[in-house]
Each structure stands twice: as C-alpha cells, then as structure tokens.
Structure 1
Amino acid sequence: MRILVIHQYYGMPGRACGSRFNELSRLWSEAGHHVTVVAGTIQHSTGKVPEQYKGRWNTRERDGKVDVWRCYVPELYGKGYLGRAWGFFAFMFSAASAALRAGSPDVVIATSPPIVVAVPGWLAARARGARLIFEIRDLWPESAVTTGVLREKAVLTRLLYRLERWSCRVADRINVLTPAFRDDLLRRGLAPAEKIICVPNGADLDQFWPGPRENAVRREQGWGDRFVVMYAGAHGRANALGQLVDAAERLRDRPDILIATVGDGTERARHERAAREKGLTNIVFCGEQPKARMPEFVNACDVGAAVLQDNPTFRTVYPNKVFDYMACARPTLLAIDGVARAMVCTDARAGVFVPPEDGRAIAEAIRRLADDPVACAEMGRNGRAWVEANAARQALAARYLESMKELVGTPRAGRRPHESAAQT
C-alpha cells in the first residue's frame, strides 16, 4: 500500500519533537508499505528554518525508508501569531504542490493542526483517486480560541470553523486521538459515528524503557541526589509553565527538590527571566535536547510533569509526554483535567492529579511525592504495565494500518458493490 502523510510538524532527524508520525511511518515502511510525508521546513520548537531549506519551495529527502518532502514555511512563522497564521497558509500552498508531485497514494492522511492541511490532503486524494483520512490531534480552531490566540467572532475564526466542518465532510474516515474528540464531533454533528476511528498516541517501547536513575544525564546536569520533577515538551502559551515557576517559589524550603524543564518555545525566555528575578535556584531550564537523549532524560528524573493552561478544551487531550513517562516507569504529576486524568490516575493508576495553574497545589503534590518513594515506585510500575497493555506504538501502528486497509477495500458511496477502490 502507498501512504501519503501531510503533517506540517513531522520531526526532523535528530531534533527534539513530537515523533509519533516519525515512528508510525518507520513502522509502516518496515512492514513493506511505501510511505511519503509532506512536511514543513520550520523547526517547531524554535520557530526557525534550518539553513538547508531557506529559499526553497520543496526539498525532497529521505528519513530512513520514508520519502520526505520538506515544504516552504516563511520565517515569519516564528514572529507572533499573525506570522504563524501566514505560515499555516503558506504551508497549505507549498504542501499542495508537493502532494501532487508525490506519486499516486492509496491513502492520504492529513493530520491537524494546522487545520489547513485538509486542503492539500483533499487535493491529493481527489487528483489520485485515493482515500482521505482527516486526523484530529487537537480540536482546532477551538483550542486557538480558548487559549486567546484567535477571537471567537473574528472573520478568520468563522472561516476556520467552516474549514473544520468541510474537512470532516469530505474525509472518508476521521481519526481522533482521544474519545473526547469523538464525543465532540458527534455532539456538533460534524460526522457520523461510523466515520470516526480512534487510534491514540502511545509510546515507542523500543526507545522508552525503565533505566537507571543515576545516568549520564543526571551527572551532566548536576542534579546529584535531588528529587527531580521534570517537564519535557513545548514552552508555549498553552503550556502555562509559569505554574512550575510558582511551585518552585513555594518549594524554597526544600533544597532536596528540583524542577527541571526540557524543551523550547516562545515563552521559555519569559519564564527563565521570572525565575531569575525571583532568585530561584530550584528550577532549571535545560533547553532543547537531541531526540535520541530523551529516554535518558526521562530516566534521570523521579517524576514526569504534564501541565497545561486551565482551559476547558484541554480536558479533551492526552498529552504525548505522559506515555513516555509511563513507558520509563516514572510517575506523572498531572495538572490537566478530563480524559488525561481518567487515563493516568484512574485507568493506569500511574500518577497524581492537581488542578491546572495552581502553583500551591503543585508544590504540595511534589512534597508528598518526594516524601513517599514507595508510592512513586508503585505508580511507575503501574504506568509501564498499562502502556505495555494499551499504548505500545507498534500495536497502534498495526491498528492504524488495518483501518487503512479496510478503507481501501471498501467501495465508495455510490459505487457498485463489485467495484473496489483499486479500480478507480
């Protein structure tokens, strides 16, 4: 089978990033399928364009067995919200040109956000007679509205909501990453239940596995014997990392506790400045790290933190990072309510919940965890067992692949029963 993925944030080799589709694409190609990815040229964590892509509309390269087309995104993307909006629409056009040059797929997966990926996805599927899967990794534009990036009544916002409705209508299948997304689509009448599948995120158990706490990362970072609570991920507006700075201020009396962040983003400098102004030495910002070292970073910590803005939209999300924490048998400190709380704290029994953006509650939870190593170890074991049983990336890749095979083998609406998708 020939699979075309349109994903603006498909990770660049060796860079820290959300690597879900890097791993899915690798697993599908290793299973004998031809995978092509149409991706952007912006390094998501920094908002910058690497030198080899500057001034180029499309750049073709390889990522192992995967064929990758890097498509133009202007450097204005990293300069405020208007720049980012322009970057999304520029990618829509550059991705469309690459998608139409990328052969004849059987299935096209357009994964959002940004929601504009649905346009090149539809064009490629329509031009080549392929089936289209529209994937929703985040409810967009709703999350942009609730975080204050877009105004609810703005013309652009209304247009994006129309694009969301159109994307759900023209897709042959919709994959959602959480059951809450499915419920939202059904509630708003955007798609019938039989059109929606749910293949969530997970962990690559070949890379993330329980390792020694005393490792090279802990020595290099100078963490010593301190109890380390580590946040790994984007440092943006939605992540609201000020709550960790607030917690650190409330933990001044515990020199044995350290909060560490790993990653980069538009808000990192502001939070670092706030920590310096407060004279805090119990929170450190480690910056972006090579993707290959992230399992070692997770193993070097005692607790993994997952935090977001106090925003009702985020009650619908599974943070990618919690799967990696659980895979490494590290308990999760979760300041995100909703389906993530149900998964981590109820289903997996692998962490503790605190209200989002409540620095006092976060600090108190960290104190309790630091003082109860037996509970931490038990939650770590529970998380690893749950991931092995429910969220192994290899099993999810196979499930996604089976959904694609079933879709390709199903006649389109209006086609005579004996006609297959391969005959179009």
Structure 2
Amino acid sequence: MRIIYVSQHFPPEIGAAQGRAFDMSSNLSELGHDLHILTSFPNNMKSNKLFEKKKTNKLNIYRSISIKDTKSSSFRRLANYISFAISSFISGLRVRKPDIVYATSPQLFQGVTGYFLSKIHRAKFVFEVRDLWVDFAEILGQFQNKRLLNLARKLERFLYKKADHIVVVTNGYKDKLISLGIPETKISVIYNGVNPSDIKSPTRKIDIKEQYNIPKDSFLVLYAGNIGAAQGLKTVVNAARKVNQIDSSIFFLFIGEGVEKDALVKQARDLKLTNILFMDSLPKKDLESFYYETDIGIVSLKKQPLFEITIPSKLFDYMAMGVPTLVGVDGETREIVEKNSAGLFFEPENEKDFIRALLEAKNSQVTLDHMKTTMQYHLSDNFNRKKLAKKLNKSLLNL
C-alpha cells in the first residue's frame, strides 16, 4: 500500500515522537509498503526552502516550512502547529493516490491535515493518539482559556469520529476512548517500544565521569529526556539535597531540554547543590557512554490520575540499555516495571518515598545486577517495534 505518514517531528530532531515515527514508518516500509513522510524542517535548522523532498532508507520524506516554536509562548507554539498543518497539507497533495493517510498526534492539527488529505485522495484515515493532549494541557495549566479548551475537545472528538481507525499507545487510552463512545473494534493498541537493534549493552566511548568532573566512585542517577511541566522533577531536585546529607556518593545527572529546565537549574543553584549536573540534549547514539556509567535511571510524571494510563517511552530506552529505573508513574507503567523486573516504584511527587526507593536500590546491588540481565529479554519479547509494526500492518490491511 502507499501510505502518507504525517508527523511534524522526525529525525534528525531528538525525541520520543521522532523515534517512534522513524521506526514505525521504516518497519512498515520493510513490510513492503510505500511510505511518504510529511514532516517539518527541524526547528533548530535554518532553511530558505519552503518545501523539500528527499528519499532516505526507502522513505520518501517531504519537509515543509513552519513558524519556529520558541517554546516560550503558547501563541508561538499554536502558530507553529497551524503553519505546519497548512504546509504539510500542500506537501500531501504531491503524493500520488495513497491508500491510507496516517496522522499522529498529540498535535491535533496534524489530524486535521490527515483528515482532509484522506478526503481529497479518497483514502482511509488513521489517527494515532500518542497522548491525550487536551486533557494534559488542562491539568497542567498550559491553556487557561476554557473556550479554547472546549473547541480543542470538539476538534479531538471530531477526529475520533471521522477516523476509519484509531491507534493508541496504552490500554488505558483505549478504555478512555471507549468511554467517549468510540467503538472498540475501531481501536488498536500499539505500544511504544524499541527496535531489536537498539537492545544492547552500552559501551564506554568516553569516560563521562572524568570529562564532566563527576566523582569516580559515585552512584550515578540519570534522567535523560524532556524536562517539561508533566515530569514532576522538582521533587527529585529537592530530594537531592537530603540525599546528599544521607549518602554523599549519590550523584544526579539531568540530560535534556524543556520548559521547566531553567527553573530546575535555578532551584539547584539556590539549594547550593554540588551533587547534581544539568546538560543539554544529546542524540541517542551519544548517550551510550552515559548509560554505561549509570547505576539507575529516573522516569517520573506528576501525581495525576490521567498519567496512570500513560507509559513514558523513556522507560523503554532505559530497558533497551539494561538500565534499572526508579519509576514515579503509577498504573500501566508501574505494572510493566514490576512485571518485567525493570526497576523500583516510588509514589509520584513524594520526596520521602523517592529517597526510600533510591536508597533501597543503591543498597541492593545484587537485585540491580539481576534486573540488568533479565529486563532486555522481556523487552525484546513484549515491546519489539518490528513485532508491533506487524500488528499495525495487520490493522491497516484490514481497512
């Protein structure tokens, strides 16, 4: 089949959305489909072009212009979303008669692009729901205007109704959509995961402790990912101060960007913390030395019922590298971690419980070593993106 795949975020940009879009489209291509990716020019890249088409690894990639997202203004971000929706729609008109138009959220306007392209091309419309964007925006206070929120909900429900098929990333999302009246037969659960080639033991390419002046004998705690409003990382920074008083060998390393990063850096500076380091985002391939030195990773979200049906994709990155994880996300994420011996749970936004779990992990080296040897097997068996692509392929062929 010829498939248009709409995803504003795509490599070389770094992130979970980019990784899933690349892996899933590549795996579908390997299964014999003709993939046409509609994406934007990278946000940090200057380009004088309005449109560009290239072929990479059997993928036809159509890049189009969008207003830059400064990540500091809601208006600017909305302009970024809408401008890409328009330019990607124009790109999609250049694709000859697709069978399926596959649009991935959370950015709802990508769904609008997908819907209208499916109508013009007389193709099936598949809408992928990677998070419940409107609900998250409301509980995190990112949009205070109730009228805009209601309009966004109406748009979201419109896309659910018009989609010929819906792909979600957790069973909880499926249950949520069913509660809104979406037929169960219209929904497929395709988890996040990793490609088999990404499951490996990390190697030391550089001595990061020496390069970044991290104490040689430290117990290294890593957070690598988005430092945003949803992650609840203020709790971890606060805990770092008390942890230093209990065990000065524990060191915290944060790698990533996000709207909360500056506030966390200031928080650490105000607390005069010497056991914490913040770094800029790095491509996945450059993280290998950091995973090699890491004793335990962190995956966390704020304490909200909605997050209990969310599974952060960062969990699978840690598992792929054999890194045990402190998980501050209840519900499905906790179940995966405990069922697959991948780490220890702490109550979200509970500083005392985070410290308890961290000290328990540090004092249980035998347990951590056992986790490292078993979690990758469970990951390759249950969250293999090549297997997940075959499951998605079956759903698409059934259309």
Q: Give the Cα–Cα distance (whole angstroms) in 2 for the partners of residues 33 and 222 of structure 1.
A: 49
The answer to whether structure 1 residue 167 and structure 2 residue 159 are counterparts is yes
Q: Give the Cα–Cα distance (whole angstroms) in 2 for the partners of residues 80 and 360 of structure 1.
A: 34
Structure 2 partner of 1:6: 6
The answer to whether structure 1 residue 403 and structure 2 residue 395 are counterparts is yes
Q: 1:279-315 CA deviation, whole Å, 9 max, x = no partner?
A: 1111111211123223443233111110112222211
Q: Give the Cα–Cα distance (whole angstroms) in 2 for the partners of residues 325 and 79 of structure 1.
A: 29
Q: Match for 2:379: what amino acid?
A: V
Structure 2 partner of 1:252: 244
Structure 2 partner of 1:226: 218
Residue of structure 2 aligned with 1:194, choices 185, 193, 200: 185
Structure 2 partner of 1:176: 168
**RMSD (Å) for aligned C-alpha atoms:** 2.0
CA contact (8 A) 2:222 2:297 kept: yes
Structure 1 partner of 2:366: 374
Q: Give the Cα–Cα distance (whole angstroms) in 1 for the partners of residues 38 and 205 of structure 2.
A: 40
Residue 372 (structure 1) shift: 0.9
The answer to whether structure 1 residue 203 and structure 2 residue 194 are counterparts is yes
Q: 1:137-184 CA deviation, whole Å, 9 max, x = no partner?
A: 001211111111123x62111111111111111111100100000000
Residue 213 (structure 1) shift: 6.9
Residue 211 (structure 1) shift: 3.1
Structure 2 partner of 1:120: 113
CA contact (8 A) 2:199 2:376 kept: no
After superposition, residues 272-283 of structure 1 pair within 5 angstroms as: 272-283=265-276
- SS of the equivalent of 1:141 reads helix
Structure 2 partner of 1:39: 39
Identity level (%): 29
Q: 1:321-350 CA deviation, whole Å, 9 max, x = no partner?
A: 1111112222110111121111112x2132
Residue of structure 1 aligned with 2:230, choices 230, 235, 238: 238
Q: Give the Cα–Cα distance (whole angstroms) in 2 for the partners of residues 205 and 216 of structure 1.
A: 26
Q: 1:176-203 CA deviation, whole Å, 9 max, x = no partner?
A: 10000000011121x1010001111001
CA contact (8 A) 1:42 1:73 kept: no
Residue of structure 2 aligned with 1:316, choices 303, 309, 312: 309
Q: Give the Cα–Cα distance (whole angstroms) in 2 for the partners of residues 30 and 384 of structure 1.
A: 24
Q: Give the Cα–Cα distance (whole angstroms) in 2 for the partners of residues 20 and 217 of structure 1.
A: 28
Q: 1:195-237 CA deviation, whole Å, 9 max, x = no partner?
A: 0011110012312312357964455344423111111111111
CA contact (8 A) 2:198 2:320 kept: no
220 and 400 in structure 1: CA distance in 2 versus 1, 3 angstrom threshold = farther
> Which range moves more in the overlay, 268-277 or 289-298?
289-298
Structure 1 partner of 2:45: 50
CA contact (8 A) 2:16 2:313 kept: no
CA contact (8 A) 2:324 2:368 kept: yes
- SS of the equivalent of 1:101 reads coil
406 and 121 in structure 1: CA distance in 2 versus 1, 3 angstrom threshold = same
Residue of structure 2 aligned with 1:336, choices 324, 329, 341: 329
Structure 2 partner of 1:357: 349
CA contact (8 A) 2:253 2:278 kept: yes
227 and 293 in structure 1: CA distance in 2 versus 1, 3 angstrom threshold = same
- SS of the equivalent of 1:209 reads coil
Q: Match for 1:354: what amino acid?
A: F
After superposition, residues 281-296 of structure 1 pair within 5 angstroms as: 281-296=274-289
Q: Structure 2-normalised TM-score?
A: 0.93
- SS of the equivalent of 2:9 reads coil
Query: Which ranges of structure 2 fall in alignment gaps of 5 or more residues?
Result: none
304 and 76 in structure 1: CA distance in 2 versus 1, 3 angstrom threshold = closer
Structure 2 partner of 1:60: 53
Structure 1 partner of 2:22: 22
CA contact (8 A) 1:17 1:291 kept: no
CA contact (8 A) 2:199 2:380 kept: no
Q: Give the Cα–Cα distance (whole angstroms) in 2 for the partners of residues 404 and 219 of structure 1.
A: 50
CA contact (8 A) 1:231 1:262 kept: yes
Q: Match for 2:195: what amino acid?
A: D
CA contact (8 A) 1:238 1:309 kept: yes
Q: Match for 1:39: what amino acid?
A: T
- SS of the equivalent of 1:252 reads helix
Residue 362 (structure 1) shift: 1.3
Residue 70 (structure 1) shift: 2.0
Query: Which ranges of structure 1 fall in alignment gaps of 5 or more residues?
Result: 44-48, 408-424
